[in-house]
């Protein structure tokens, strides 16, 4: 039987839309676009003509999503990547080369530290690690070849908040760039470009998509930092998929509502936990006992006249043992133990057995992460419901 091209792949049928305009973005899954001529292919692949040729080099759904994220962040430039980690890798790879030095916060996401330590180190990139809340220590750690400072707006899981403007100043005095991982804050809580950041990363997997069903990353930057970004993104192959971008675009449309609601609830839960039996201490940047309250108030966005402090609340059980943490997890049946954050519903994590399990006992202690440390990512349930769910978890531990 003859097998023609038409039988395998019928001619593209274009359905006329007449004057009907879809109210939502279309999904463009094509891996390749038809080139009408050699000149056309050459112009587009060479970047002299706008348009699409090959999905890894760019596709409409990534461009729609990156443009929306760029506007939310008030950023000059933005690209979407396959994950938060690839966004961080892209931010580094596009700016540094062998012989350069990178200064990292000691509280960074474990994989970010591993990236520089275990991976980039093999390519001749040096790094050191410092407490970015200690500006004198940061100043003392900057070397002649330091090209970048990497820090998180709100650290995991102890929720320390760094002074971004001072860090940007220190970086710029030494011709280095400041890259900020803003995942725990989101642009609703913090806009790092206003404080002088050069590159901003979000794991869209978390708060930005907010529905726990997509892995994607965002890298935003200034014009001056952008030379190699798009070329490196395509060449290293960290491009996103169209359907994931479309889902994240949908998730993004409720970001403001989700995050303002979750921040408000988180503040209530932090206050509730501060008085709850069985709880030794509570970490939340909005509490008077938090060491960075003043920085947070100055640096974070407000909503209806109230500062936003994020949707993550960390607390320490009075009985700080793994057994007590397990008991809390077994009893708090309405709060699933999901080692991530930013989902629609409230979830919990146990840093010592998940995100920070590979650290030495000494580093865990230095970072104030104990067997009884529990991190909550507050979702969209009512604060009353979340309080009841926590009370169930604390039953028998609330001596």
Ligand X SMILES: *Cc1c(COP(=O)(O)O)cnc(C)c1O
Half-sphere exposure in the Cβ direction for 388 (13 Å, CA) = 6
CB of 205 to ligand X, least distance (A): 4
Under a CB-based contact definition with an 8 Å cutoff, are residues 271 and 388 in contact?
no
The three-class DSSP label of residue 50 is coil
CB of 377 to ligand X, least distance (A): 10
- Give alpha helix (H) positions in the chain: 5-8, 38-45, 60-73, 84-93, 110-114, 135-141, 164-173, 186-189, 229-236, 242-252, 255-275, 293-299, 322-331, 361-366, 383-394
Instruction: Looking at residues 315 to 374 of the shown chain, list those that interact with ligand X (rule: CB under 6 A).
Output: none
Question: Which of residues 186 and 331 has its CB atom nearest to ligand X in the complex?
Answer: 186
Q: Does 85 bind ligand X (CB under 6 A)?
A: yes
> Among 94, 205, 225, 240, which residue sits at the site for ligand X (rule: CB under 6 A)?
205
Question: Which of residues 176 and 201 has its CB atom nearest to ligand X in the complex?
Answer: 201
Instruction: Looking at residues 8 to 47 of the shown chain, list those that interact with ligand X (rule: CB under 6 A).
Output: none
Question: Which of residues 125 and 208 has its CB atom nearest to ligand X in the complex?
Answer: 208
**What residues have CB less than 8 Å from 57, skipping those under 6 apart?**
45, 234, 239
**In Å, what is the CA distance from 283 to each residue of 98, 267, 373?**
39, 11, 10
β-bridge partners, 177: 148
> Among 100, 181, 343, 381, which residue sits at the site for ligand X (rule: CB under 6 A)?
181
Question: Which of residues 278 and 351 has its CB atom nearest to ligand X in the complex?
Answer: 351
> Among 217, 221, 307, 371, which residue sits at the site for ligand X (rule: CB under 6 A)?
217
Q: Does 109 bind ligand X (CB under 6 A)?
A: yes
- DSSP for 333-381, please give it: TTS-B-S----SS-EEE-GGGTTTTTS-HHHHHHTT--TTEEEEE--SS
CB of 183 to ligand X, least distance (A): 4
Under a CB-based contact definition with an 8 Å cutoff, are residues 138 and 132 in contact?
yes
Of 99-107, 203-211, 224-232, 365-373, which segment contacts ligand X by CB under 6 A? Answer: 203-211
Residue carrying the six token digits 């530290």: 113
> Among 184, 238, 272, 309, which residue sits at the site for ligand X (rule: CB under 6 A)?
184
Of 80-88, 188-196, 219-227, 314-322, which segment contacts ligand X by CB under 6 A? Answer: 80-88
Question: Which of residues 180 and 397 has its CB atom nearest to ligand X in the complex?
Answer: 180
> Among 95, 141, 215, 346, which residue sits at the site for ligand X (rule: CB under 6 A)?
215
CB of 70 to ligand X, least distance (A): 18
Under a CB-based contact definition with an 8 Å cutoff, are residues 197 and 220 in contact?
no
How far is residue 364's CA from residue 177's CA, in Å, rounded to a whole number? 28
Instruction: Name the residues that contact ligand X, by CB under 6 A.
Output: 83-85, 109, 152, 156, 181, 183-184, 203, 205-206, 215, 217
């Amino acid at each position: 039987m003859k097998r023609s091209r038409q039988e395998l792949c019928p001619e593209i049928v274009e359905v006329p839309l007449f004057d009907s305009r879809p109210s939502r973005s279309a999904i463009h899954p094509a891996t390749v676009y038809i080139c009408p001529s050699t000149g056309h292919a050459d112009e587009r692949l060479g970047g002299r003509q706008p348009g699409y040729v090959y999905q890894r080099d760019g596709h409409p759904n990534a461009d729609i999503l990156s443009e929306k994220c760029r506007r939310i962040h008030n950023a000059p430039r933005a690209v979407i990547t396959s994950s938060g980690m690839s966004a961080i890798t892209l931010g580094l790879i596009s700016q540094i080369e062998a012989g350069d030095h990178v200064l990292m916060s000691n509280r960074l996401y474990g994989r970010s530290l591993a990236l520089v330590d275990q991976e980039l180190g093999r390519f001749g990139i040096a790094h050191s690690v410092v407490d970015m809340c200690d500006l004198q220590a940061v100043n003392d750690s900057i070397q002649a070849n330091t090209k970048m400072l990497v820090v998180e707006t709100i650290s995991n899981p102890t929720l320390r908040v760094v002074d971004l403007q001072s860090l940007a100043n220190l970086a710029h005095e030494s011709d280095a760039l400041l890259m900020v991982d803003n995942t725990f804050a989101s642009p609703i809580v913090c806009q790092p470009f206003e404080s002088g950041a050069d590159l901003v990363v979000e794991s869209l997997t978390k708060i930005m998509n907010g529905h726990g069903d997509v892995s994607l990353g965002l890298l935003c930057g200034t014009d001056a930092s952008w030379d190699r970004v798009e070329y490196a993104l395509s060449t290293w192959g960290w491009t996103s998929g169209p359907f994931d971008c479309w889902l994240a675009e949908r998730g993004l449309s409720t970001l403001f509502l989700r995050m303002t609601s979750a921040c408000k609830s988180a503040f209530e839960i932090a206050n509730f936990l501060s008085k709850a039996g069985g709880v030794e201490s509570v970490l939340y940047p909005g509490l008077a006992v938090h060491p960075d309250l003043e920085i947070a108030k100055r640096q974070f966005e407000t909503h209806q006249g109230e500062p936003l402090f994020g949707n993550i609340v960390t607390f320490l059980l009075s009985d700080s043992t793994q057994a007590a943490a397990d008991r809390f997890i077994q009893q708090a049946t309405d709060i699933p133990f999901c080692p991530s954050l930013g989902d629609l519903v409230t979830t919990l994590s146990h840093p010592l057995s998940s995100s920070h399990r590979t650290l030495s006992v000494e580093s865990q202690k230095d970072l104030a992460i104990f067997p009884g440390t529990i991190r909550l990512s507050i979702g969209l349930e009512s604060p009353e419901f979340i309080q009841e769910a926590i009370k169930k978890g604390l039953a028998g531990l609330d001596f």
